[in-house]
């Protein structure tokens, strides 16, 4: 059976975890909208070029598509790949271009400094 392409692309041995892209801790208030649903506020807790971890009191189902919007940026389409309590792991359907990722780092200087 073929592997899930989203998970396969993220795998790389980096010691304790297996990731292709490094992730940085952030603290960004974002908007999240589940496909066909309303928008709600959430907190982005970490970010990589391939996805993010968010905290939300609004339930989002695993496998559901969502649009994640950082202030001043276009919405990023993602799929919820895991849930633990009020935290959700989301994988972007289209990875962030390195220049966009660097732009977010410049706009939110706390990135990587927490």
pLDDT digits over 34-60, tens only? 888 889 999 999 899 999 999 999 999
Q: Which residue has the higher pLDDT, 51 or 114?
A: 51
Domain ranges of the chain: 5-107
Instruction: Give the Cα-Cα-Cα angle 76, 57, 29 (nearest 5 degrees).
Output: 45
User: How much is the pTM?
Assistant: 0.76
- CA pair distance 66, 44, nearest whole angstrom: 14
Q: Which residue has the higher pLDDT, 22 or 113?
A: 22
In this structure, are residues 77 and 61 in contact, taking their beta carbons and an 8 Å threshold?
no
In this structure, are residues 104 and 112 in contact, taking their beta carbons and an 8 Å threshold?
no
- CA pair distance 94, 88, nearest whole angstrom: 18
The domain over range 5-107 is classified in CATH as 1.10.3720.10: no
């Amino acid at each position: 059976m073929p592997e899930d392409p989203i998970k396969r692309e993220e795998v790389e041995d980096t010691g304790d975890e297996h990731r292709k892209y490094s992730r940085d801790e952030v603290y960004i208030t974002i908007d999240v909208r589940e496909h066909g649903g309303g928008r709600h506020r959430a907190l982005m807790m970490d970010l990589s070029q391939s996805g993010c971890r968010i905290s939300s009191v609004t339930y989002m189902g695993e496998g559901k598509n969502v649009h994640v919007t950082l202030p001043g940026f276009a919405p990023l389409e993602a799929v919820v790949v895991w849930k633990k309590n009020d935290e959700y792991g989301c994988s972007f359907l289209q990875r962030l271009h390195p220049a966009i990722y660097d732009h977010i780092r410049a706009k939110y200087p706390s990135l990587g400094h927490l």
